[in-house]
Structure 1
Amino acid sequence: MNPDPRLLSIQDFTYPLPAERIAPEPLPDRAASKLLVSRHGQLTDKNFRDLPGELPAGALLVFNDTRVVRARLLARRPTGGQVELFCLEPVAPHRSLELALQQTGHCTWRCLVGNGRRWKEGPVMLDFTAADGQPATLHAERQAQEAGTALIDFRWEPAELPFAEVLRAAGHLPLPPYIDRPDTATDAVRYQTVYAAAEGAVAAPTAGLHFTPEILAELQEKGFATGHVTLHVGAGTFQPVKADHMADHPMHTEPILVTAGLLRQLLAHRPRPVIAVGTTSLRTLETLYWLGVGLLHAAADATDPTPATATELQVAQWRPYEMADAAARISPEMALTALLQHLEATGTDTLQASTRLLIAPGYQFRLVDGLITNFHQPESTLLLLVAALLGPGWRTIYEHALSHGYRFLSYGDSSLLLP
Structure 2
Amino acid sequence: MLVKDFNYHLPQELIARYPAPKRDASRLMLLDRSSKTIGEDVFAHLGQYLRPGDLLVMNDTRVIPARLFGTKVTGGSVELFLVKRLSADGGEWECLLRGSKRFKEGQPILLAAGMTARVITRQGPESWRVAFSGAEPFDTWLDREGHIPLPPYLQRDDDVQDRERYQTVIASTPGAVAAPTAGLHFTRELLAALAAKGVGSARLTLHTGLGTFKPVRVEQVEEHRIHREWYEISPETANAIRSTKERGGRVVAVGTTSARALEFAVDDDGRIRAGAGEADIFIYPGYRFRVVDGLITNFHLPESTLLMLVSAFAGREFVLDAYREAVTRGFRFYSYGDAMLLI
Structures share fold, TM-score greater than 0.5? yes
Q: Which residue of 2 aligns with 1:18?
A: 11
* 1:120 Cα deviation from its structure 2 partner: 5.6
In the alignment, does 2:117 pair up with 1:139? yes
Aligned counterparts, 1:306-325, within 5 A: none
Q: Which residue of 1 aligns with 2:295?
A: 371
In the alignment, does 2:217 pair up with 1:242? yes
Q: Which residue of 2 aligns with 1:165?
A: 140
Distance (whole Å) between structure 2 residues aligned to residue 47 and residue 175 of structure 1: 25
1:232 to 192, 195, 207: 207
**TM-score normalised by structure 2 residue count:** 0.94
Give 2:236's aligned amino acid.
G
Aligned counterparts, 1:213-292, within 5 A: 213-270=188-245, 271-289=248-266, 292=267
Q: Which residue of 2 aligns with 1:300?
A: none
Cα RMSD (Å): 1.6
1:124 to 109, 120, 142: 109
In the comparison of the two structures, how many residue pairs are matched? 337
1:210 to 176, 185, 199: 185
Distance (whole Å) between structure 2 residues aligned to residue 370 and residue 75 of structure 1: 44
Q: Which residue of 2 aligns with 1:3?
A: none
Q: 1:120 to 1:263 in 2, by over 3 A?
A: closer
Distance (whole Å) between structure 2 residues aligned to residue 56 and residue 379 of structure 1: 33
Q: Which runs of 4+ in 1 moved over 4 A?
A: 118-121
CA deviations on 1:180-201 (whole Å, 9 max, x unpaired) are: 1111000001000011010000
Identity of aligned residues (%): 42
CA contact (8 A) 1:15 1:378 kept: yes
Distance (whole Å) between structure 2 residues aligned to residue 397 and residue 369 of structure 1: 19
**TM-score normalised by structure 1 residue count:** 0.77
Unmatched tracts of structure 1, length 5 or more:
1-7, 129-135, 294-329, 341-350
Distance (whole Å) between structure 1 residues aligned to residue 108 and residue 330 of structure 2: 48
1:400 to 312, 325, 329: 325
Distance (whole Å) between structure 1 residues aligned to residue 43 and residue 281 of structure 2: 29
CA contact (8 A) 1:77 1:119 kept: no
CA deviations on 1:262-299 (whole Å, 9 max, x unpaired) are: 1111111113111000000111111121xx33xxxxxx
Q: 1:56 to 1:396 in 2, by over 3 A?
A: farther
Distance (whole Å) between structure 2 residues aligned to residue 384 and residue 182 of structure 1: 29
Distance (whole Å) between structure 1 residues aligned to residue 123 and residue 227 of structure 2: 18
Distance (whole Å) between structure 1 residues aligned to residue 80 and residue 250 of structure 2: 42
* 1:116 Cα deviation from its structure 2 partner: 4.7
Distance (whole Å) between structure 2 residues aligned to residue 363 and residue 253 of structure 1: 19
* 1:54 Cα deviation from its structure 2 partner: 1.6
* 1:28 Cα deviation from its structure 2 partner: 1.6
CA contact (8 A) 2:79 2:98 kept: yes
Q: Which residue of 1 aligns with 2:285?
A: 361
Distance (whole Å) between structure 1 residues aligned to residue 215 and residue 117 of structure 2: 31
2:174 to 195, 199, 202: 199
Unmatched tracts of structure 2, length 5 or more:
none
Distance (whole Å) between structure 1 residues aligned to residue 94 and residue 53 of structure 2: 43
CA contact (8 A) 1:123 1:142 kept: no
* 1:151 Cα deviation from its structure 2 partner: 2.4
In the alignment, does 2:46 pair up with 1:69? no
